[in-house]
Amino acid sequence: MSKMSARQSAIQAITTYNPDSTGFSYRDVKPTELFGCNVFNDKVMRERLPKAVYRSLVKTIRYGETLDPAIADTVAAVMKDWAIEHGATHYTHIFYPLTGQTAEKHDTFLKPDGSGGVIAEFSGSMLIRGEADGSSFPSGGLRSTFEARGYTAWDVTSPAYLQEGPNCIVLCIPTMFLSWTGVVLDKKTPMLRSGQALNHEARRVLDLFNVHTELPVVAYAGLEQEYFLIDNNYTFAREDLLVAGRTLFGARPAKGQEFSDQYFGVIPQRVLSFMMETERYLYKLGVPVSTRHNEVAPGQYEIAPFFEQANVAVDHNHMIMAALRNVAKRHGLKCLLHEKPFNCINGSGKHLNYSVGNAELGSLFDPGDTPHANAKFLVFVCALVRAVHKYGGLLRATVASASNDHRLGANEAPPAIMSIFLGDQLTEVLAAFRSGHLEQAQSGTKKTMMDLGVDTLPNLPRDPGDRNRTSPIAFVGNRFEFRALGSSQSAADSITALNAVMADSLGFAADWLEREIKEGKSFNDALQSFITHVMEEHSAVIFNGDGYSEVWQKEAVRRGLPDLHSAPEAIPVLESPEVMDLYVRLGIMNQAEVKARAEIYLEQYCKTINTEAALTMRIARTKIFPAGLSYLNQLASAAQALRSLNREAETETLDQVNNGLVQLKKHTDELEGIVSSVAGEESFEKRAARCCQEILPAMARVRETADGLEGIIPEDLWSLPTYQEMLFNK
């Protein structure tokens, strides 16, 4: 009996799949009782900590006051006892190095007692600071590889939690990561610093409106996570999916997403079972997931949480990505978080819904019913308009990667040109302020009602503007949606940049208003002057039309907006004088730390392209060429047999296969030569540019030829699972 192929195993697994009868049921445990049960949250701290210690810790978490080191031992002891009661044996300081992934090192609570036994130990110093070997993490030249010491520092603002595995429970403590010399080596530290800058400048503006709040002004984020699911058996026959996370070959299937029958359709039973288990796991971690649905492409789905403080939202998004991957395996599925795992259908993004405010103020991007009368709202909106115009290149750089380049500018993602959508109503209000004729905008600023024409249904309020899915940054009622972020990326860089540019513009607004008032103008006249200035100097970035149109591409260039098509063009913006000045002036990073990030991200780009090129050559030579050669031999043998019977042989297919194999070898050899040549470039900037301009087109030529052969070679000879199978077999 012949061994079952990976393709056959996948199909068998799909057709014989049954839900796990031993799974959980919300009838047994209510989700309200489950939510946050694995989190060292406010409820746990209030119940377990001494009152004085609890109050001191709350001041740090809620009000941003400096942590009192004297309480650390008490907090650590209580945290340890709570974790051990729940079955934990180890703890880890979890952090986000510049790889963009999650990093952790597990240490046990148990220490020898000197008498042949053990004791559980966890001190305040162990909680506040940990030590990790930092030698192998990318540092962009900030330190030598022989210098290994790195420190993790407790982030008090993000709660500790218990990570459950099949046979272990680990206490996870969110931390920052720095070198022994104090150099920032992670993504969390700059994000926290940018939040401090945002709070400082936002308060200056609010003070001018005589609005005071005890709580810090913070950034909020809601991160919509898109992903693909395929049967895990398929990945065993696809080295590209295993290593690169995307398919480097694959012909267009007979059916894709053109029928729009996947979007918001009925969720397949196997997928729904996976989603339910993932959500249950996340509920226990206090992640407020609220939405699940089919996305546009076949095999594509989305999970989205409620809004949270940005720092916690980023931590939770990393938990979501880990949970998606881990739970998928238990259901025989593979979760693909790559931005473009399949070539001919939509890719995946991570829409970042961004707002500024706090629990006392609400969202400062909320216009209320009459945005023309909400001057505070207009100032904050104008601050973002100015920020996007001045620092659009920086925002583009934060979403630049080899994987996201496949998605930006395609029909499932906004273009690489950073613009801002405000909607007609808000644009008219700002234009009226600019012209000094506010009465022109007031008639249309209140919400209208939609008459549904059904007697049993009430009229519904109509939002003042529609959504624009082609805009990189769109106003959506009480927040802005940054749509350019890639599905596999950490949102920390983008949030850091948004906080920084908002802080810069709010500081500019405060300076402007203070100066105008000092010169004798009324507060209203100063506001009019500021809004007019922003609209005159920065309205070029406002665009409410179709971002995909060629007309906009030309118009954007005319307006002077940067059009950075690829990561090698966008990443160097980090080293521009404007960005350097911004980050250094606001105390977010120093010049060396910013420069290091640019070098690291270019290096990661080069390594990604080189890995994919190596896989392309390997698969072409060991999978596709042998399959074509086998079919060529069959065709040649059949033709020879016909000729021996004095019968005419059809050779058109034989010639197609032969020509395809000749072209495949030619293009593969060309790719190998280009890769070798590019490797000789000394700087990552030059190497990245050549990867984009030379290696990627060479890979595309190999793929085009191979995909053409897929349409000719019989299925029993083609060893790679096809798009049709992977996308539609659930």
**Could you report the per-residue pLDDT of 459-479, keeping only the tens digit for each?**
545 455 556 678 899 998 899
Strands 308-309 and 460-462, sheet pairing: unpaired
Print burial letters for 533-569: b (CB count within 10 Å at least 16), e (below 16): bbbeebbebbbbeebbeeebeebbeebebbebebbbb
Is residue 80 within 8 A of residue 124, CB to CB? The reply is no
Is residue 664 within 8 A of residue 706, CB to CB? The reply is yes
- pTM of the prediction? 0.93
Cα–Cα distance between 283 and 289 in angstroms, integer?
A: 7
Nearest to 100 by CA among 530, 509, 404: 404
* CA atoms 445, 199, 499, 573: torsion sign: positive
* Number of CB atoms found within 10 A of residue 149's CB: 13
- The secondary structure element, H or E, covering residue 225 is strand 218-231
- The secondary structure element, H or E, covering residue 149 is strand 149-154
Q: What is the pLDDT of residue 401?
A: 95
Q: What is the pLDDT of residue 516?
A: 94
> Residue 334: beta bridge partners?
230
Cα–Cα distance between 645 and 654 in angstroms, integer?
A: 19
Cα–Cα distance between 54 and 47 in angstroms, integer?
A: 9
**Longest Cα separation, the chain:** 106
Is residue 239 within 8 A of residue 620, CB to CB? The reply is no
How would DSSP label each residue in 118-140? EEE---HHHHHEEEEE-TTS--T
Q: What is the pLDDT of residue 416?
A: 86
Q: What is the pLDDT of residue 452?
A: 38
Cα–Cα distance between 372 and 389 in angstroms, integer?
A: 22
Cα–Cα distance between 687 and 610 in angstroms, integer?
A: 10
Q: What is the pLDDT of residue 64?
A: 85
Q: What is the pLDDT of residue 456?
A: 46
Give CA separation, 449 vs 452, 453, 462, 611, in Å.
9, 12, 5, 55
Q: What is the pLDDT of residues 70-82, one digit of tens each?
A: 899 999 999 999 9
Q: What is the pLDDT of residue 361?
A: 93
Q: What is the pLDDT of residue 65?
A: 86
**Distance between alpha carbon 644 and the CA centroid of its chain, in Å?**
63
Q: Which residues contact 327 (CB under 8 A, 6 or more apart)?
A: 274, 277, 278, 281
Is residue 354 within 8 A of residue 495, CB to CB? The reply is yes
Count each helix (H run) and each strand (E run) in the chain, helices first.
25, 20
Query: Could you tell me if residue 117 is left (phi over 0), alpha (psi between -120 and 50 degrees) or otherwise beta?
Result: beta
Q: What is the pLDDT of residues 689-723, one digit of tens each?
A: 999 999 999 999 999 999 999 999 998 899 899 99
> Residue 352: beta bridge partners?
223, 482
Q: What is the pLDDT of residue 185?
A: 86
Q: What is the pLDDT of residue 31?
A: 78
Tokens 């996870």 belong to residue = 172
Cα–Cα distance between 685 and 571 in angstroms, integer?
A: 9
Nearest to 561 by CA among 354, 415, 400, 355: 415
Query: Side chain identity at 633, as an amino acid letter?
Result: N
Residues of the chain with pLDDT under 70: 1-7, 10, 13, 17, 19-27, 133-136, 138-149, 180, 370-373, 409-412, 436-468, 649, 730
> Residue 176: beta bridge partners?
153
